[in-house]
Each structure stands twice: as structure tokens, then as C-alpha cells.
Amino acid sequence: MPPLLRALIHRLVASLVVLVGVSMLMFAIARVIPGDPARIALGPNATEAQVQALRHERRLDQPIPIQYWEYMRELVRGNLGNSLYSNRPVRVDIAQYLPATLELIFAAGVLMTLIGLPVGVLSARYRGGWGDHLGRTGSIPAFVWAVILQLMFAYLWRLFPIEGRLTAALAPPPTVTGFLLVDSVLAGDGRVFFDALHHLALPALALAMAGIGQTSRLTRASMVETYRKPFIEMAHAYGFSESKIARRYAFRPALTPVLTILGLDIAALLGNAFLVESVFGWPGLSHYGVEVILHKDLDAIVGTVLIIATAFLIANIVVDLLVALVNPRIRFAGDRS
Amino acid sequence: MRLAGDSAAWRAFWRNPSALVGLTLVALVVLAALFANVIAPYPSHAGPVGDFAAMSAGPSAQYLLGTDTIGRDLLSRLIFAYRLSLEMAIVVLAIATPIGVTVGLLGGYLGPVSSYALMRLTDVFLAIPPLVLAMSITGFLAPSAIHGMMAITAMWWPWYARLAYNLTRAEKQEGYVLAAETVGASTPHILFREILPNCMPAILTKMTIDVGFVILIASSMSFLGLGAQAPTPDLGSMVADGARYMPDAWWLTAFPALAILIVVMGFNLLGDGLREAADARD
């Protein structure tokens, strides 16, 4: 078996173990907290008999390990329970809202990399310049970026729409992937595509800004570290040009730690999406997450967190594969051992 | 990388301009929070009642940063919000650090089985994006400053477990640990009296930076309505409330946002300065 495939399977198994742990953790918190979930679900006006009936129906009167076992049995069948907030299966809600969030996070991740990497590379070459101070933008929380960008570009200059994913007058393309940009291309609808892009720009930028500081600082640190290596000194001795050394020799080794950190940045993107979606009225999973959290909708909270944790783990596996592709030492490590 | 009592490290610290900027910002914020009752021009405006004659007034000589929609002095409310933010950060770190460090020390020092169990437990917490974990825990309880603190503590300790684990793994190979083992020192003695003191500089540096980040996370949560409830002044909820009156009453959003930037950046610069000073010595 190729080493890369073996490493991939190893990671998948480890991730599955962690996911089971996450489900236990969330289940434990949801069931151990003070307050009766059935009472919360039905509200203060329900009679004791109604509460008892719901407790029995949802197996809340049984021991917690049995409840967990039943929950997991349903989970394996793809059933995440029912949302009290939307009165629909949690699975249906998540399927509806998840693509919007993924589209936003993907766009933000691309922006973050496209801005953060070059700034980091440049500030490593011109140390002490303005690029060094840009790293401090990480001190501004995502919701402040969102509010500032919305105020300036949407309210004051009216360059971008204030909120939403699509102008109400436009008919959304038939759902294939749930990504509006992809679906509109598939439907051959240019107007919808550009309208969706227009709506996506500000939220994606707000989300990216919160991470650009960290990305550029880590790229810078990694580049500085690489520049101290003997092979760069040798390249200098050979008389290669500065830009060739930067592009050909320093950038690629410096990329490995940066990619690893990008994996962690995804956690920040997933978390900050809650804030950005709420400012821009973006109809995504995070928006849904805030609503169900505020409504104490237990099954929906557990389901949303499980999906987000899964997305995070998958993203990290993808990042690890990218690292292996960039770095031949990791790619072929298995052959030598 | 030992910092305390090392004059070379302190000299490096005092010569680092960004560290001094950080120290100044932190000192200002801490003093404002400590003496909020004395410094705030209108201490009573931290509560629900303000000056109804001056509702939504812009910055002026009387109200330096303006007033909110029910006439409360924004500057006074920001000063009291700093007090709440710092209290939250201190409580969170005071609970999360000992838990995380203990788990990390045990995980790094004990045998492979307990190490595996402890670090997988840590992984479970780290598998959920921090803000998502904190928000969902608050959601299970009820939005309040206390529950926010509990939730942030629950998401914060694994980072210290990771840090202490890595440090312990490195220290474990050192001669002084072997020496202590040879003379038959107990495991708690080796962990807390031998290894821990050598990990303290790194832990303290992380704690300094984290004060800012706890405040950032806490304000993010209260921005969504999952933190301190009205009328308690809170940085995040002040930005959220102010954003509804943009752009006319811009000061309601701009100054709380700036206040967050100042405190987060202050602790960030100070922590970076401490780390660079410790590195300069090595």
C-alpha cells in the first residue's frame, strides 16, 4: 500500500474516534445540564402529562448510556433528531444551510491565502516594513470587521448589497450543489452568478480579514526561518537573483508550516462565520446555529456542532494531504522507514 | 528560556518599543478597570439609567465619547466593560491553566496508555472550533456572563494541555529529571517541583497573550447575545447594539470596537515582547 494512502486511512480512523468522542461530549453536556429538555421544549404552559409523554417519546426517562446508544443508532441512519425551532428534521435544516456556509468559508479561505501569503513573503524580505504591522490586524475581531465593512461599502458608498445571498427579484438556479456560484454556472445563468458573487464579496472579505494577520505573520516567521538555512546561503553564493531565491528556494520549504497553520485557521473561519453570517444576514449553518442556540434547541445544537466538527476534521485531512504534496520528505517518508 | 531575575532578558524587553507600547496599553486598561468607580465620569451610567436629556448625543466636552440611545455616557460604560472583560479573562485563565497544565504534565510524563487517553480527550475538545464549542455550551445553559466564563474555560484548557504536553516531553529527557528519578523522587514531586518550574516562562507568556484573546472570544459571544445581559456594560454587546444605529450614531459602534482593539492588541504586544525577551536570552 502506498505510504500516502496508509497515512490517509490512519488519519480517517483517528478522526472517527475523535468524532465519536465529540458526539459523547456534546451528548453529555446536553443531557447533564440543569433543566428538563422536555420541559424546555414544550414551554412553561405545558401540563405535567404532556411533559411526561414527550419524555417517554424521546426516551429521556431512560439512563443516559441507553439514550446515547439510541441517539447513535439514529445517527448512523443519518437521523439527527428534530429541530424544535424549525419543526423539521435537523438533517433537512443542515442540508439546506450548510452549502451557504461552505461557500462563504471557501471564498474567505481563498482570499486569506491570496492576501496573507504574499504579505508574509514580502514582509520577510523587507523586515520592519509596513507589512510587519499588518500582522496586528488579528487583534480586530471578525464581527468588528464585518460591521466596519458593511458600514463603509454597503451603507455609505452603496457598492455592495447590505445582506443576503441573492437579490430577492432573481430566481435562484436549480439546486445541484447548493453553492450558488457553481449552480448558476451549471444553469448557465450569468446574472445570478454575478449577483451571488456581488453578495459574497463583503462577508467573505470580513471573514478573511480576521485571519489574514495570523496567516501573514506565520508565513513571515517561516520564511525568515528558511532564509537562515545553509541552502539559501549556497544559493546566494552561486549568485542567484533575490527573486529567484525567494520563488524557487525559500517559498516552498516555508510553505509546509504555513499550510499546517491554515488547517487551524479553518477552525477560526468556522467559528467566525457565526459572527459574519449574523451581521450580513447570510442564510448559512452558522446563522442557523445562533438561532437554535438562542432557542435552546438541543438536538439541533448537537447536530450542528457534529457537522461543524466533521467539516473541520475533513479540512485538516485535506490540509495534511496538501502538505504531503508540497513536501517530498513527508510524501516519501514511508518508503525509507 | 527563563525570564525572572534575568537582567539580559529584561534589558531586551525594555529596549523593545512594541513591547513597551503593549505594556502601556495594558497598564491603562488595568488601571481604568481597577479604579472604574473613580475614573468613570458617570459611574451610575453603568446601570440601566442615564441622562434622558442627552440621548444619542455625539462626542462633546460633557460626554467625551458621546451617549447611547438612553443617554448613558459611553466612556463610563466602556470603563466598566473593561472591568467585566478583565474579570472574565482572569477567572477563565485561573481555572483553565491549572487544569490544562496538569493534564499536559501527566500526559507528557506518564506511560503511553494514560498519555494516549489524556491527549485523545484533549483532541476531542480541539476538534470543535473554539468559538463554536463555547457558544453551544452557553446555549445549553442560559446566556449570562457566568455561563460564558464556564463555556470559555471548557474550550480553553486543551490549549494549555497541548503546550504543557509538548514542554514536558522535551524536559523529560533532561538530566535533572533523570537525577530526581534516580534518587527516588515521587511522581508529583518530579511533575510539579522539577518539570513545572521550567515550563512556567512559556506558560506565563501564553497566558499574557491569552488575556487579550479571551476578551476577544467573550466579546464575540456577547456580540451574538450569548454573554452578559443588559444593563451590564459589555464590549461585544455594545458593538452589537451600536451597529443598529449605524451610520448616524457611529460613535456607539466605533468606540467599543476601538476599545476591544486596544485591549487585545495591548496584551498581544506585551506577550510577544515577553517571548522575544525570553528568546533573546537563549
> Number of A:B CB contacts under 8 A?
134
ipTM over 0.90: no
pTM of whole model > 0.90?
A: no
Which of A21, A139, A278 lies closest to B261 in CB terms?
A: A139
**B132, A274: Cβ pair inside 8 Å?**
yes
Contact A308 B240 (CB under 8 A): no
Percent of chain A whose predicted confidence (pLDDT) is above 90? 17
pLDDT for A105 equals 93
Task: Tell me which chain A residue has its CA closest to the CA of residue B121.
Answer: A21
Question: A61: distance to nearest CA of chain B, Å?
Answer: 19
Is it the case that residue B32 has pLDDT exceeding 90? Answer: yes
Percentage of chain B beyond pLDDT 90 is 38
Pairwise CB contact (< 8 Å): B223 & A289:
no
Q: Which residues from chain B sit within 8 angstroms of residue A271, using beta carbons? A: 129-132, 220
Q: Give the pLDDT of residue B1.
A: 46
Task: Give the residue-averaged pLDDT of A171-195.
Answer: 86
Give A202-227 pLDDT, tens digit per residue: 999 999 988 887 788 788 888 888 88
Is pLDDT of B159 > 90?
Answer: yes
More confident of the two residues A335 and A268: A268
> How much is the average pLDDT of A262-286?
87
Task: Kindly state the average pLDDT of the residues A80-96.
Answer: 87
Q: Using CB atoms and an 8 Å cut-off, which of residues 129-158 of chain B contact chain A?
A: 129-133, 135-143
Distance from CA of B132 to the nearest CA of A (A): 5
Mean pLDDT score, B214-229: 90
Provide the chain B residues 7-26 that lie in CB contact (below 8 A) with chain A: none
Please list every residue in chain B whose beta carbon sits closer than 8 Å to the beta carbon of residue A30.
Answer: 140
B108 CA to chain A: closest CA distance, Å?
Answer: 20
CA gap B281, B201 in Å, rounded: 12
Residue type, A80: L
- pLDDT value, residue A47: 84
CB-based contact B132 A308, cutoff 8 Å: yes
Residue A200 pLDDT class (50, 70, 90 cuts): very high
Question: Distance (Å, rounded) from C-alpha A162 to C-alpha A147?
Answer: 11
Q: Which chain A residues have a beta carbon less than 8 Å from that of B212?
A: 139
pLDDT at residue A97, as a whole number? 92
User: Is the pLDDT score of A58 beyond 80?
Assistant: no
Q: Are B233 and B170 in contact (CB under 8 A)?
A: no
In angstroms, the CA A281 to CA B226 distance is 18
Burial of residue A244 (number of CB atoms within 10 Å: 0-12, 13-18, 19+): exposed
Contact A141 B268 (CB under 8 A): no
- Residues of chain A contacting residue B140, judged by C-beta atoms under 8 Å apart: 29-30, 33, 296, 298, 301
Span B91-104, average pLDDT: 96
CA distance B192 to chain A (A): 29
Of B138, B226, B257, the CB nearest to A144: B257
* pLDDT band at residue A182 under the 50/70/90 scheme: confident
Q: Dihedral, CA atoms, B208, B209, B212, B217, nearest 10 degrees?
A: -120
Q: B264 and chain A: CB distance < 8 Å anywhere?
A: yes
CA distance linking residue A4 with residue A219, whole number of Å: 26
Are B220 and A156 within 8 A, CB to CB?
Answer: no
The C-alpha atoms of residue B24 and residue B269 are separated, in whole angstroms, by 10
Q: Test A312 with B216 for CB contact under 8 angstroms.
A: no
- Identify the band that residue B279 occupies on the pLDDT scale cut at 50, 70 and 90: confident
Are the CB atoms for A219 and A211 separated by under 8 Å?
A: no
Mean pLDDT score, A89-113:
92
Q: How confident is the model at residue A337 (pLDDT cuts 50, 70, 90)?
A: very low
pLDDT range class, residue B281, cuts 50, 70, 90:
low
- How far apart CA A40 and CA A300 sit, in angstroms, is 14
Give the integer Cα–Cα distance in Å for B281 and B9: 5
pLDDT at A82 over 90: no
Q: Minimal Cα–Cα distance from B130 to chain A, Å?
A: 7
List the single range of A91-100, A217-226, B175-184 with lowest mean pLDDT. A217-226
